[in-house]
Structure 1
Amino acid sequence: MSTTRTNKLYPNLDEVPLNRFHLKVTAMTFGANFSDGYALGIISGVLPAISTQMHLDGFWQGMLASSALIGLFFGSLCLGRVGDIIGRQRVYVLNFALIAAASLAQFWSPNVEILFVLRLLIGFGLGADYAVGPTLLSEFAPRRHRGLMLASLTVLWTVGYVIANILSTYANSDPEAWKWLLASGFIPAVVVLIVRIGTPESPGWLISKGRVDEAREIVRKHLKVELNPEEFEVSSGSGSYRELFSKKMWRRTAFGSLFYSAQVLPYFAIYTFVPTILGQLKIDDADLQNLVINLFLLAGGVVGLWFVQKLPRRAFTIWTFLILAVSLAALGAMADLPALFIMVPFAIYTFVMSGASNITQVYPPELFPTEVRASGVGLVNAISRIASAIGTFFLPLSLDAWGIPVSMFWLAGVLLLGLLVTVVWAPETKREQLV
């Protein structure tokens, strides 16, 4: 048995100093978020070409755009629970075998039905990572750096989304290019699969199952410190799924589900149909404006990391919801003005939304105790993905029926609902001990 490099005994993983393994497990989780952003971003750019070639009506356009989000619902809901029962590590590794295979198979899709099923499978695998990835990382992360480490996952999601968006915009001239673009998601997925082989199990999960010696050995090997078993706090929770809806926990479950849903419903709806929105706004050189929007997405995500690290969770979420709602309402009110004026609230919304999205990887793992953390994070993600799918399905119908102003107003209303839920129910979790 290897020996620890320090004589200090740490009572919990929250107090362990940051070291290279923390950065490694963060980087391994990055890959999933990049792949997710890439998979969801690529469909936005290739959807017009697919629609033309396969003669898709509005129904199938909406279904194809929301397919991965529907898969995310089932993957998060089912495999999050599996992660609490059998452990984080196996789900964390094996889900990317499914994602890689389904991504590559898109190249040979003969019809929209097969393509829809393959994207459901990609979403299913990514849903597992939405539940287990932040959970595993949060259970290794030192409390002092937890917000930054978790929030950085969203930045990599944005990087993947933006790269996919730019590729699909500027490499989509050939009628068959959409097949190569969709199948290219295989590359980041297989890289993630390879680098995750050998990932250790979460010590926090092992401790919750009474496997203390295994947990201490993992900490000793990878974090180079020693945990003090005399100071472990044994949870009194049952670990049952029902615990998420208990008197003690239901407000946290409801808050996590509703705040996340209210934030991502407008996000996915708007950015899946950016070309359509820019077209209805009569924006000249829509490709250039789309590129500018993507740059604002990247900048907002990076700047948002600082605010997540410095601000309390509640304050960050309340203020970003308020700014976002006002921005979309302004966009709706200014829809008939010249492009120079319209792009101001659009750019503000894009910048702030990208930064605000960082909290969606931070808040959920902090809401739940170890024995039901993956289940709770999975449930919150699942509900948010149904909201995303609903928004993605209905926005093109709304744009056709009512145009930009009404569509932006009801999306702003969704954000105001998120603001209300945060004010009423959001706990402050920045300093909570997770493991």
Structure 2
Amino acid sequence: MKIKISNSVIYIFAALSGLLFGYDTGVISGAILFIQEQMHLDSWQQGWVVSSVLLGAILGAAIIGPMSDKYGRIKLILTSAVIFFVGALGSAFAPEIWSLIIFRIILGVAVGASSALIPTYLAELSPSEKRGTISSLFQLMVMSGILLAYITNYAFSDLYTGWRVMLGFAAIPAAVLLIGALVLPESPRFLVKDGRVDEARSILEHMNKHDKSAVNYELAQIKKQAEIKSGGVKELFSEFVRPALVIGFGLAIFQQIMGCNTVLYYAPTIFTDVGFGVQAALLAHIGIGVFNIIITAIAVAIMDKIDRKKMLIYGAIGMGVSLLIMSISMKFSNGSSVASIICVIALTIYIAFFSATWGPVMWVMVGEVFPLNIRGLGNSFSSVINWSANMIVSLTFPALLNYFGTGSLFIGYGIICFAAIWFVQFKVFETRNRSLEDIEAELRSYKGVEKLQKDICTQDATTKA
């Protein structure tokens, strides 16, 4: 099997699902301002329009993700592209709220499938010394999609039915993804499990720039792990997988209950609450999006130079402090332009810390920690947990915002950020510069499990020293 495209093109096309992921979850932040007015939505209906894509994401991650262990990564990426296309056009032409919700659920199926498939696919294609950088391209594309959504929101905000264009625009990158996925190579890990070793070798040679020794070593490791029979739910919850499961479960929940996506979804609403007009709020949103792209690009560049745990801890500190400052400024924003500016700056810094740390690192680590024979299942489980937490937070946010007010609500999210520091410090083990097979081999030995826990303690002691 001869691959005719460069590694860079492969990584970019594979990560393109992230752009759709970001666009379809971010575009609603501006569109909801117009949908709410035209369809006369109350706070709970508003929450359902926003959160319906998340319900679909739970279904997509739970159903399509595990199928990748049986049918391969590429076939399901193609399937996701088709679902993206159908969901985007359906949302654009929805005549009333319930059909809009149904098509956004369909769209969410593709979003959830991508979140389970792409981090795994990128991790399995990339060399261990570059895996963090390459896997985090997914998050860079997510933030690029969010920026594209912000620009689209602003560009069509003067049209009465502009929200339909905002939602339907996603069909264009969906079509590009569908074409691009046709030329992507299959995961060499899946090919070895499927008995297609020669194809796997050819792909590994291409991805490792024909370094024969690196290819032979990696292929030998993959063959050893592939001999283990595919596992199911029982193995996912077995003792040796437990450290990986705790990481997947914990990071997935904390990433959401820190309030990150409520800020991304409802930022224009937050801006209008502190005194901005609708147009000014959407324009400020674009500025935040540009800043986030820069920050995420920096994170991609340094992903394999800084330990994953350090990035998560420093990110949680920055996010927590930013939220507390934002909350205080919101309490004094009435009639105060200075307080409003401080609020916007704090919100921007908060999203920047998320974009540089918890945004990419969570997906990178979920793609790394699970054993090959249940990797699709493990990633899907983590994605289901992540999207479930996302849906609960997003669905309840408008009602909580009405009850507590913007100032008090974000204090709670800030406290959760500081709780996440404890979790990372004591429950997460380091994966940087380790091959997927090395991580799995350590998990599969009882002593390995003990060693992982000792590694956590050792890393903690070193950090404190």
- How does the TM-score come out when normalised to structure 1? 0.90
Aligned match of 1:400 = 402
SS of 2:394 mapped into structure 1: helix
Query: Counterpart in 2 of 1:10?
Result: none
The equivalent residue for 1:380 is 382
Q: Distance in 1 between matches of 2:236 and 2:294?
A: 36
CA distances 1:193-219 after superposition (whole Å, capped 9, x unpaired): 011113332111222344423423444
Structure 1 position 389 matched with structure 2 position 361: no
Q: Give 4+ residue runs of structure 1 displaced > 4 Å after superposition.
A: 220-224, 229-233
Aligned to 2:352: 351
- Partner residue, 1:331: 326
Does structure 2 retain, via aligned residues, the 8 Å contact 1:67–1:120?
yes
- 1:258–1:384 CA contact under 8 A, matched in 2: no
- The residue aligned with 2:342 is 341
* Equivalent residue, structure 1, for 2:125: 140
1:258-287, Cα deviation, whole Å (9 max, x unpaired): 223222341111121112211222347434
Q: What are the within-5 Å matches in structure 2 for residues 10-409 of structure 1?
A: 21-219=6-204, 225=210, 227-228=215-216, 232-235=222-225, 236=228, 238-265=230-257, 266-283=259-276, 285-335=280-330, 336=332, 338-356=339-357, 357-409=359-411
CA distance in 1, matches of 2:55, 2:419: 23
- Structure 1 residue 31, shift from structure 2 partner: 1.3
- Is the alpha carbon distance of 1:231 and 1:283 closer, same or farther for their aligned partners in structure 2, counting shifts above 3 Å? closer
| Alpha-carbon distance in 1 for matches of 2:114, 2:285 | 29
Separation of aligned partners in 1, 2:129 and 2:115:
22
Larger CA deviation: 27-36 vs 222-231: 222-231
Task: Tell me how far apart the structure 2 counterparts of residues 295 and 256 of structure 1 sit (CA, whole Å).
Answer: 29
Deviation at 1:20, TM superposition (A): 6.1
Could you tell me whether the CA contact under 8 Å between 2:44 and 2:399 is conserved in 1? Answer: no
TM-score for both structures, normalised by structure 2: 0.85
Relative distance call for 1:333 and 1:37 in structure 2 (3 A) is: same
Q: d(CA) in 2 for partners of 1:238 and 1:129?
A: 22
Distance 1:407 1:376, change over 3 A: same
- Code of the residue aligned with 1:84 in structure 2: it is D
- Residue type of the alignment partner of 2:320: A
Q: Is the 8 A contact 2:23 2:148 kept in 1?
A: yes
More divergent stretch after superposition (390-399 vs 281-290): 281-290
More deviation in 353-362 or 289-298? 289-298
CA distance in 2, matches of 1:42, 1:287: 11
Summarize the Cα distance change of 1:413–1:214 in structure 2 as closer, same or farther, 3 Å threshold. Answer: same
Q: Give the partner amino acid of 1:389.
A: M
1:394 alignment partner AA: T
Whether contact under 8 Å (2:61, 2:380) holds in the other structure is: yes
Once residues 351 and 84 of structure 2 are traced to their aligned partners in structure 1, the CA distance between those partners, rounded to angstroms, is 28
Matches of 1:78 and 1:38, distance apart in 2: 22
Structure 1 Cα separation of the partners of residues 344 and 414 of structure 2: 17
Q: Distance in 1 between matches of 2:269 and 2:176?
A: 33
Q: Letter of the aligned partner of 2:128 in structure 1?
A: R
1:72-92 CA-partner distances (Å, limit 9, x unpaired)? 111112111100122212112
**Equivalents in 1 of 2:302, 2:220: separation in Å?**
36
What secondary structure, in the 3-state scheme, does the structure 2 residue paired with 1:103 have? helix
Q: Which amino acid aligns with 1:272?
A: Y
Runs of 5+ unmatched residues, structure 2: 334-338, 438-465
Structure-2 separation of matches of 1:411 and 1:237: 42
Q: Structure 1: give runs of 5+ residues left out of the alignment.
A: 5-18
Q: Is the 8 A contact 1:261 1:387 kept in 2?
A: yes
Q: Is the 8 A contact 1:96 1:193 kept in 2?
A: yes
Which structure has the higher relative contact order (CA within 8 Å, separation 6+)?
A: 1
Alpha-carbon spacing, 1:238–1:294, altered in 2? closer, same or farther (3 Å): closer
Aligned residues: 420
| TM-superposed deviation, 1:323 | 1.3
Larger deviation, residues 197-206 vs 115-124: 197-206
